Amino acid sequence: MTLAPDTPPPPGDSAPIFGTHLFDGCAAAKGYALNAMCFSFNEAANREAFLADEDAYCQRYGLSSEQLAAVRARNVLAMIEAGGNIYYLAKLAGIFGLNVQDVGAQQTGMSVDEFKAMLLAQGRKAGED
Amino acid sequence: MARIIGGYFTSHVPAIGGAIVRGDQEEPYWKPFFDGFPPVREWLEAERPDVAVCFYNDHGLNFFLDKMPTFAVGAAHEYRNEDEGWGLPLFKSFAGHPDLSWHIIEQLVGDEFDVTTCQSMLVDHALSIPFELAYPDAQEWPLKLVPIAINTVQYPLPSAKRCLALGQAVHRALASWQGAEKIVVIGTGGLSHQLDGERAGFVNPDYDRFCMDSLAANPEAICVDSTKEIVRKSGSQGVEILNWIAARGALGAAPARETHRNYHIPISNTAAATMLLETA
């Protein structure tokens, strides 16, 4: 079946979602090396090798210059822009001693305390304590 | 004849594993979430299911982007948890039920679901933590496992409608299984949350309430939206609701009875929920 070129997308599917980067095929292809490196961090020996010589470890996985710069800068939004997927990036963040709230704070430009307070406030707003 | 006793549904945040190990269940931050589990434990204690069919999503322990199945069914004798790379404790292994797994696979492929079959499969916190919550004192799991993984990582994701249909096909398999086991269905993940991007920390209690209100009697209502629309409403990881939808389908078409609900914001970045649905 061929869709007519003017077939509209399903309702709501065309509009971007603020601050949200859907990890589609393009991102998966672009981010493959970075995510593969992060996947390797399931093994403690690999985490230690990364910490011992970060640049050499990144080279081993063939990171692009964009990915290398993002990792060196510990910049999560730049890692996502370079094709990183958060489920895999979380393993890298763990090496740096960061949890998902630290990562959330960095991406939203808040302090970690502000980010945590924002989450708690959403609970209170919803009638939760 | 086998019998499906019902299902429980819960969030699966890695930090919960840390809280369990530290014994933080009574801490003010954690108590509102852990308080959701005594009714689930009491129900399991009374019913004593023999097998669990668990719908979950892998977070990069068993599957990598080199081969990413949309639907994967475990058919292993044993399912181990391993290091996920972020300091989580190692959780207990599960005994599989390969005969039932293959029976489910036969039904699913017969119903034209092209599933990946896994005779070797690691299971991550998304699967282990719901069992640690439900059986906190178990030295070993008192039931066997059939794990079913749904891709919620790499787009395109299966639609909610397709996940409900997958669950319904699993129900047909369970209904025709000739064993005498009692079966519990488990759906893990969500509810609304977002870990990545400038919208990190987003939760949506209104949408979560809609999902919880619809789950027992009208799961089709949750299936109207595209996966992207679900992301818009519930955050990029809120799409883990697909696991709940599939698990609801596995309970069968007959109305399920909601016997317990717990909802709390936040656990880590997540609007955390626990529900118990019993079948008639």
| Interface predicted TM-score (ipTM) of this complex, two decimals | 0.95
A-proximal residues of B, 93-152, CB under 8 Å: none
Closest residue to A119, CB basis, from B32, B59, B266: B266
B264 catalytic? Reply is no
The reported pLDDT for the residue numbered A127 is 76
Q: How many CB atoms lie within 10 A of CB A124?
A: 10
The reported pLDDT for the residue numbered B1 is 79
Enumerate the residues of chain A whose CB falls inside 8 A of the CB of residue B195. Answer: 86, 90, 100, 103-104
- As a 3-state breakdown, chain A gives helix, strand, coil percent values, each rounded to 5, of 60, 0, 40
Q: What is the pLDDT of residues B47-87, one digit of tens each?
A: 999 999 999 999 999 999 999 999 999 999 999 999 999 88
Q: What is the pLDDT of residues A63-81, one digit of tens each?
A: 999 999 999 999 999 999 9
**Per-domain boundaries in chain A:** 23-97, 99-129
Instruction: Give the CATH superfamily of A23-97.
Output: Dioxygenase LigAB, LigA subunit (1.10.700.10)
- Distance, CA of B194 to CA of A97 (rounded, Å): 20
Q: What is the pLDDT of residues A47-60, one digit of tens each?
A: 999 999 999 999 99
Structural domain span for residue B58: 3-278
The reported pLDDT for the residue numbered A63 is 98
- Distance, CA of B185 to CA of A3 (rounded, Å): 39
The reported pLDDT for the residue numbered A14 is 73
Q: How confident is the model at residue A2 (pLDDT cuts 50, 70, 90)?
A: very low
Backbone angles phi, psi at B185, to 5 degrees: -105, 140
The reported pLDDT for the residue numbered B29 is 95
What is the domain-level CATH number for residue B43? 3.40.830.10
Q: What is the pLDDT of residues A113-127, one digit of tens each?
A: 999 999 999 999 887
A-proximal residues of B, 204-243, CB under 8 Å: 205, 225-226, 228-229, 231-232, 235-237
Enumerate the residues of chain B whose CB falls inside 8 A of the CB of residue A120. Answer: 265-266
String of DSSP letters for chain B = --EEEEEEEE---HHHHHHHHHT-TTSTTTHHHHTTSHHHHHHHHHH--SEEEEEE---SSS--TTS--SEEEE--SEE-----SSSPPPPPPEEB-HHHHHHHHHHHHHTT--PEEESS----HHHHHHHHHHSTT-SS-SSEEEEEEE--SSSSPPPHHHHHHHHHHHHHHHHT--S--EEEEEEE--SSB--SSTTTT---HHHHHHHHHHHTT-GGGGGSS-HHHHHHHH-TTGGGHHHHHHHHHHT-SSPPEEEEEEEEEEETTEEEEEEEEE--
**Per annotation, catalytic residue among B59, B103, B171, B193:** B193
The reported pLDDT for the residue numbered B62 is 98
- Chain-wide mean pLDDT for chain B? 97
Residues of chain B scoring pLDDT < 70 = none
Instruction: Report the number of distinct structural domains present in chain B.
Output: 1
The reported pLDDT for the residue numbered A3 is 47
- Say whether B266 and A76 touch across the interface (CB within 8 A): no
pTM tops 0.90? yes
The reported pLDDT for the residue numbered A1 is 44
The reported pLDDT for the residue numbered A11 is 54
